[in-house]
Structure 1
Amino acid sequence: MPETQGKKRSLYLKWRPSRFQEVVGQEGPVRILQNSVKKGETSHANLFAGPRGTGKTSVARILAKAINCENSQDGEPCNECTSCKKIERGTVLDIVEIDGASNRGIDKIRELREEVNFAPAELQNKVYIIDEVHMLTTQAFNALLKTIEEPPDRVTFIFATTEPEKVPATIISRCQVFEFTEIARSEIKGRLWEVASSEGVEITEEALNLISSRARGSMRDGLVVLEQIISYDPAGKVKKDDLFELLGLTRGEVVEEYTESLITGRPGKALEVLDELEKRGKDPELFLDQVLEKLRTQIKHTEDRSDLQKLVKLSRGILDSSDDLKSSTHKRVTLEIGTLELLEEMNAGETGSTREPEPEEVPGTSRETPPQEVDGSSMPAEEIQNESDSSSKDSVGEPHDMEGEKSGRDLRGSDRWKNMIERIEEEKISIAAFLEEAHPVFRNQDLYLEFGREYSFHKESLEKKRNFSYLREAVQDCFDDVDELRIIYNEREDRTESEENTGLLDEKAELVKDKFDGNVVEEGRL
């Protein structure tokens, strides 16, 4: 039931369900809880697990009212008795809500353990609701375990979490677990229409479809967006373009343009679309969600097997790009590189690679053409094998130890390096993009591609098996005097920084000696 008294509140608070029957999209957990209240057999410890905005905290409060209601009917709280009204207002001492994120230490749990031993002050049962319980420390969980194992009479625990995998198994095994799922779009849409009608807002069907899609299974997010639209235009009659801007969405024709550029293999057009997105300040992750939705719709209506395979492959590539974006600090570059890699994969799938696919490595065997054979040397087979194995360990990973070796020859301005880059740009533009930040150095018959620490993404991308294999072949074709390719961090930069820090510490030490007329007794690292 909506709240009608007091100052204006957010829609998601105003329309928060207050009875089990008002909860949308969680029929399973709601039915079990309602029946357990009706029978008087509720569990002393309950774990509500599921995505955010799906009703976990709301159901926890309804359950707290139901087990304390003085006139409960069919397992539902009446919302009229003194107990229900006190709980609804949040003025009762026996219902304790704890935010696990901000009260995660053992001290709060010790305090709770002492409190549970006291009888309820106003209600029949004391209820402890711990939200985001997975945020508690290990010590806090251990302290809580004993209380859950042997709970006092008339005490109920309700834990809510968005990440149940982080909750210790010892806690989960002592709880009745309820899985809350993402709410279906149709149910979100129906609820939004009900709220809009009750608020006197005439909202369009198109707006409801967009909001329910944007909510991503969260009723709370849907109501927040609806409130934004009502604030923008109290009548709810928002123009289509304004609606897209409010929701941070990209217009459908732009999504269509990008999707078609992927399907038809036009990298220039795809990058042009991404450039326009950045100029308009669009969220790359949200854009990829729209692309996925577009591909999903196309998959539903595609009957041709080859077209279906292409769309599925595209969808997987977009999902990979979306995952990369979540952990990237350079979202535009990550999205562009992901797009180019996906286009290359799609093109390779259609036309076939100009190179023969590299056979899978079998443990205990060597490659047919070791890198050392490129320059025609006649090294014994056993020695070639040992050196190849040694090289594979050093070619990627941590900085290579250069101490005692020559500084090497810088190849950045050489014709061979430029020719190789031009060739790679024609065949694998994403690899060429990664190489822009590489410092190529020829040293001891090996080609070193050195990267600064700030370009770890570029380095790691080139180290991927497929990219590294292609790049090694390109190097061997263009540099006949190179034995092996190695991708490393620029140790000279690391060493210079370390030496600068050491020099600064030495200066400070001298100042201390002069100030206090002291002597160095022993040197060492802390």
Structure 2
Amino acid sequence: MSYLVFARKWRPQSFAEVVGQRHVTQTLMNALAGDRIAHAYLFAGPRGIGKTSTARILAKALNCEQGVSREPCNSCSSCQDIGQGRHLDVIEVDGASNRGIDEVRELRDNVRFAPYRGRYKVIVIDEVHMLTEQAFNALLKTLEEPPSRVVFILATTEPHKVPLTILSRCQRFMFRRISTAEIKERLSLMAREEGIEVDPCGLQLIAESAEGSLRDAQSLLDQVVSFSGPRASLEDVRTVLGLGDREQVHRGMELLLDGNAGDLLRLVEELYGAGQDLRLYCQNLVERCRELMVDRISGSSFPSLDPLSTGSDALPGKAESLTYPELDRMFQILMQTEMEMRRSPYPRFVLEMALLRIVEGRRLTSLEELWRRLRQMEERLVAGREREWARPAASPTSSGAEVVGQEPSTPSPAPNRERVPTRAMKEEAEGEGGPNWLQDPRWVDFKRLIRREKVSLAPLLEYFSWVSPRGKNLLVRIQGSNSYLLEALEDRNVRRILEGGIRVAFGEELRIQYEFDAQGGERVAIGTEPEPAKPSSPPSPKGSLLEAALEVFEGRVVSE
């Protein structure tokens, strides 16, 4: 007898032998036991997970000589003929090669005849999504009202390509990918029965590489045994699968984290000279990067392609310094590189440039760091302005010259941030003809509006000692006579913001009139029809503004 590959030799012959599809096999077994057999089934799912095998088992259960039961006997001539593909009443059609309307018409004419030797005539159409639109239309009527004792089983890997008119006439079963643990357990059973010794890590590696397909795993195991003989080590499995050396991948990731561009280029040259697949090496780097990201987010490592890898523990300790944005950028670059290497005639150059881009990108300042620095600069700038507003201007003499021997006047302290209205303040407000809005609850809303509109104006409000409406004006008394404060309040944009806030918070359209407390107890009105008060001399360029600017921007004076 000619040699049978593992995928055919170990093909399931009963529902109990189907791996990882209990939700399908249990339903079919109950339907057979309860005589609830549908006229059309659709088996959908990835490749190599048992769709066609399940269809054959169902056909054997329907035509078994022992009677319709939950499981076929696999000993009668009918079961054996179906298992070997030579039963006259079980017709298997390849939808990819018999996809035209003529083939479907011939099939439709064939199902009109009664079964030759079994109870049911079973039509299995594999890859049914490959049929043409005309072929589907020809099959539609037959599926809707099939002859008695005819069962259609349609198998496909792409159910979304099957017309809805076909889907609605079938019972649909979605086959799932088989888990790695189930594949490894099945491979271990096969190895024991075949008298083969395979390293357990090698079996794990084969199961992971199969990506949920048991047929692919069986073919890989068959290939490994052909290479190594009855005893297969982990290195034999790696060689057959074409996986790179684990130490080389570890070394490459370590060089990436160190930012050693020269050694990275030499490593790529070494791999290229040794004939290794550079695209596969890039895939391994993607896997390592993914392990770091998963460990950083969830705190635990997930299964990886390498069974000897233990998540982030297998990676260098320098990875702890990587932030999530850096890991995401590295992952995106490696993924894009792997796709570009597929279609590029120079995969080595593509990989080299990608690794250099990752190394140089880590030396650049991230957007998060730039944003943090800008926030700090803004806070320091606002703090510098507050200090300038809190420092009153020096009182000049009538001649503008400093009096020799006179002690400099002590600057008035900044007003208290938490203003507590005293009895004297209330009496003063009532005596001057109106309420003091500073004690009005609406003043809190006004300050909140101003802070939201322009945060730098919020410190100015703390200098207001008394606010009261006077007709169409709003009289605002200011403590001190700071020239910088005067210029800021008289700015047209500032006045517009303040008057707009009064209109929103208090519901009144008023024009602000400022009144400064000058020396000698005099009060100078600003913003009314009488001639305005003369502002104080502008601050010296060597004053506090220059000092604040130098402090915020970390500069220095280069010339005067």
1:244 aligns with 238
Contact 1:51 1:181 in 2 (8 A): yes
Over residues 257-277 of structure 1, what are the superposed CA-to-partner deviations in whole Å (9 max), with x where a residue is unaligned?
333444455555555444444
1:257 aligns with 251
Q: 2:131 aligns with which of 132, 136, 143?
A: 136
Q: 2:92 aligns with which of 85, 92, 97?
A: 97
Cα RMSD of the aligned pairs, angstroms, is: 3.0
Over residues 79-119 of structure 1, what are the superposed CA-to-partner deviations in whole Å (9 max), with x where a residue is unaligned?
12232111112221111111112222221111111111111
SS of equivalent residue, structure 1 residue 35: helix
Q: Which amino acid aligns with 1:198?
A: E
State the structure with more CA Rg. Answer: 2
Change (3 A) 1:73 1:96: closer
SS of equivalent residue, structure 1 residue 124: coil
Contact 1:229 1:236 in 2 (8 A): no
Q: Which amino acid aligns with 1:139?
A: Q
1:182 aligns with 177
C-alpha displacement of 1:283: 4.1
Q: 1:161 aligns with which of 152, 156, 163?
A: 156
SS of equivalent residue, structure 2 residue 232: coil
C-alpha displacement of 1:44: 1.8
C-alpha displacement of 1:196: 0.3
SS of equivalent residue, structure 2 residue 63: coil
Q: Distance in 2 between matches of 1:14 and 1:320?
A: 41
Q: Distance in 1 between matches of 2:81 and 2:341?
A: 46
Change (3 A) 1:37 1:229: same
SS of equivalent residue, structure 2 residue 172: strand
Q: 1:198 aligns with which of 185, 188, 193?
A: 193
For the pair 1:85 / 2:70, whether they are aligned, the reply is: no
1:516 aligns with none
2:12 aligns with 17
SS of equivalent residue, structure 2 residue 112: coil
Superposed counterparts of 1:230-309, under 5 Å: 230-238=225-233, 240-284=234-278, 286-302=280-296, 303=299, 307-308=323-324
Q: Which amino acid aligns with 1:228?
A: Q
Over residues 403-427 of structure 1, what are the superposed CA-to-partner deviations in whole Å (9 max), with x where a residue is unaligned?
xxxxxxxxxxxxxxxxxxxxxxxxx
Change (3 A) 1:84 1:165: same
For the pair 1:112 / 2:81, whether they are aligned, the reply is: no
Contact 1:94 1:122 in 2 (8 A): yes
Relative to the length of structure 1, the TM-score reads 0.60
Contact 1:72 1:78 in 2 (8 A): no
Contact 2:180 2:207 in 1 (8 A): yes
Q: Distance in 1 between matches of 2:212 and 2:251?
A: 27
C-alpha displacement of 1:350: 3.8
Superposed counterparts of 1:32-431, under 5 Å: 32-71=27-66, 75-238=70-233, 240-284=234-278, 286-302=280-296, 303=299, 307-308=323-324, 310-324=326-340, 331-332=347-348, 335-336=351-352, 350=366
Contact 2:282 2:351 in 1 (8 A): no
SS of equivalent residue, structure 1 residue 119: coil
The size of the alignment, in residue pairs, is: 349
Change (3 A) 1:9 1:268: same
Q: What percent identity do the matched residue pairs reach?
A: 44
Q: Distance in 2 between matches of 1:338 and 1:87?
A: 54
Structure 1: give runs of 5+ residues left out of the alignment.
1-5, 356-526
Q: Which amino acid aligns with 1:257?
A: R
Q: Which amino acid aligns with 1:78?
A: C
Q: Distance in 1 between matches of 2:110 and 2:361?
A: 61
Change (3 A) 1:353 1:266: farther
Contact 2:228 2:236 in 1 (8 A): no
Q: Distance in 1 between matches of 2:154 and 2:362?
A: 46
Contact 1:60 1:129 in 2 (8 A): yes
Contact 2:289 2:327 in 1 (8 A): yes
Q: Which amino acid aligns with 1:254?
A: Q
1:370 aligns with none
Q: Distance in 1 between matches of 2:199 and 2:28?
A: 36
Over residues 285-310 of structure 1, what are the superposed CA-to-partner deviations in whole Å (9 max), with x where a residue is unaligned?
54444334333443454447964554
1:413 aligns with none
Change (3 A) 1:70 1:175: same
Over residues 167-222 of structure 1, what are the superposed CA-to-partner deviations in whole Å (9 max), with x where a residue is unaligned?
22222222222112221111111110100000011211121111112211111111
Structure 2: give runs of 5+ residues left out of the alignment.
300-319, 372-560
C-alpha displacement of 1:311: 3.7
My pick for the range that moved more, 189-198 or 163-172, is 163-172
Change (3 A) 1:244 1:83: same
Change (3 A) 1:288 1:152: farther
Contact 1:259 1:291 in 2 (8 A): yes
C-alpha displacement of 1:23: 1.0
